[in-house]
Amino acid sequence: MENNIDFQVDETLEKCILSTPRKSFFLFAGAGSGKTYSLVLLLKKTHNSIGKKLLLQGKNVAVITFTNAATDEIINRLDYSPIFHISTIHSFVWDVIKHYQADIKNCIVFILKKI
C-alpha cells in the first residue's frame, strides 16, 4: 500500500511539470525518503506525456542536484533522453556562465581597482 503522503507529493510534482504554464519546484526531504524515486517517476511521466512536444520545441527539463552522486543515480535510473539536462548546481551554473569568462574577469579587475 502506497503512503498517502507520497502519493500527494508525486501528484503535486506532476501538476508542476505537466500543467500550463509549467512550474519549477524544489524537492527537499531527508535521506532515504524517496526523493530520487519520485523524481525519476516524474521524469518518466514527463518523457512519455510531453517529451516529443518538448523536443520539437527545442526545450529541455533541467534537473539540478546538489551532488555528483545524486546526478549519477538519476542518470542511471533513467533511459537517455535529450530533453533532460541532469547536472549538479555547479555544473549547471558553469554551463550558463562559461561563455562570459572574459566579461567576468574584466568586471572583477574593474572592482578590484576601485578598492
pLDDT digits (tens, 9 = 90+) for 37-94: 888 988 999 899 889 999 999 999 999 998 999 999 999 999 899 999 999 999 999 9
Phi/psi for 86 (5° steps) reads -105, 120
* Structure confidence at residue 83 (pLDDT): 94
What confidence category does residue 6 fall into, taking pLDDT thresholds of 50, 70 and 90? low
The answer, yes or no, to whether residue 16 has pLDDT greater than 90, is no
Phi/psi for 65 (5° steps) reads -115, 170
48 contacts 25 by C-beta, under 8 angstroms: no
CA dihedral 44, 80, 27, 52 (to 10 degrees): -50
Radius of gyration for the chain, computed over Cα atoms and rounded to the nearest angstrom: 18
- Nearest CA-CA partner of 28 in 17, 43, 39: 39
Residue type, 66: F
pTM over 0.85: no
